[in-house]
Amino acid sequence: MAGKPKTPNPYYQGPKSDHFDGRIFFNPDGTPPGSFSALLKWQLGGGRSKWPVSWPTPFAQAKPARKIAGDDLRVTMVGHASLLIQVAGLNILTDPVWSERVSPFTFAGPKRVNPPGIAFEDLPPIHIVLVSHNHYDHLDVATLKLLQVAHDPLVITPHGNDIIIRAGAPEMRVVTGDWGDSFEFEGITIHIEPAHHWSARGAKDRRMALWAGFVIGTPAGKIYFAGDTGFHDGINYRLIAEKHGGFRFAILPIGAYEPRWFMKPQHQNPDEAVQGMVLADAAFAAGCHWGTFQLTNEPIDEPRAKLHEALDTHGVAREKFRAMLAGEVWDVPVVLTKADIGARAGMTASKLAGLIDVFQDVIHALRRFDNEDDVVAEMEDMLAQLRSGSMPNKLKMKVIFAPTGPLQEVSISSGWADEYLRLASRFDVELAQAFA
């Protein structure tokens, strides 16, 4: 007896890939969303914390400037995963939601407990909208319709979501792409990158539209918006760090993570978010996806408390990763990432990192011995130059490691000749690669 025909994909038809089987998308080597029976077990199992009906933030609604230029980067929290990014003269919204509920219904479903951090009429001209996936707390057709009429922005989203958007906002300008695709827009580049998640607007379209994060490459630095994601053993964080060379700023989800037995594959918790920040090599990060709509079991303020605990545990300063609240505005400090520094030094981030590692190891070795302050100071000066992107003189670097140079003399007098030879050999390799 023939089985029941599978529902065709109404959103996307394209070639098979490592994350698309011709009908549905999936997470490579990942975990699919929980089954309907698991969903019922969670919903009927109790343990759901009671959120307040209203949870106002200490910030008034922001009134953003029309334009932020130069090296400045300003981020304003609207609420949940909706943030306004102002950089390079452009205004970018992530997963914009101004609706009262995130649900297929206007009368039921998760309801907002604080107003948007920016009144819609106070928005500056919006140039780009990034939509990470089609869950209702991220793709809000009602808000997109308002944005189209008021601002006519370009929407960038992964495959399949254009069909949903245009069904509600036919005049919307939308471009779609796959993981790894990129788009140029007035001097910046938007990259669509992997996330570990899933998608659905109803019961019959699970995983038929793609989900993603985004990297925004700008003259003022790179920005990473992770969308909605599980930690996935840090795989995607490592990939984007290797590909993009670190970030000035990251927007990472920190909420909707309990109960872990059900939510862990699709929603990272605050500790995993801190690990993700470190793995992605982000200088600063904003925690999103918390404190606006109750989607899961944890208390409303727990993500912020858990984030602070995780930052302390992992040795990251609390001011570097904020759990942002609606209306909060952050002028993100200027930071040079490894990629920025490498570009200034005329080499890739990985080549620069190799040189820096050698210098750090030598300095660490020298500090074990007395009376080597002059050599240490010279090495530290070279290291500082490398870290700033100002390349030290190549000959000067070679001399300090040369067989007749200061390090050789130190190694003989202090009895660490074997370690010196190993480090000198490493340095020769790294220096040759750096200038290849």
Domain ranges of the chain: 43-335, 339-434
For residue 9, give every residue at least 6 positions away whose Cβ sits within 8 Å of its Cβ, in sequence order, or none: 23, 24, 160, 205, 208
Q: Which CATH architecture best describes the domain 43-335?
A: 4-Layer Sandwich (3.60)
For residue 43, give every residue at least 6 positions away whose Cβ sits within 8 Å of its Cβ, in sequence order, or none: none
Q: Give bridge partners of residue 87 from the DSSP assignment.
A: 73, 90
Q: Give bridge partners of residue 213 from the DSSP assignment.
A: 193
Give the separation between CA 362 and CA 384, rounded to whole angstroms.
Answer: 14
Q: ∠ CA 193-196-78 to the nearest 5 degrees?
A: 75
Average pLDDT for residues 341-354, to the nearest whole number?
Answer: 67
* pLDDT given at position 63: 97
Identify each DSSP E strand in 208-311 by its residue range. Answer: 213-218, 221-225, 247-253, 282-288
pLDDT tens digits, residue range 54-106? 999 999 999 999 999 998 999 999 999 999 999 999 999 999 999 999 999 98
pTM: 0.80
Ordered strands of the 282-288 beta sheet: 182-185, 188-193, 213-218, 221-225, 247-253, 282-288, 321-323
Highest mean pLDDT range out of 175-179, 401-405, 426-430?
Answer: 175-179
pLDDT tens digits, residue range 258-290? 999 999 999 999 999 999 999 999 999 999 999
In contact, 209 and 328? CB cutoff 8 Å: no
Task: Count CB-CB contacts under 10 A for residue 413.
Answer: 12
* Lowest model confidence (mean pLDDT) among 142-146, 276-280, 374-378: 374-378
* pLDDT given at position 382: 78
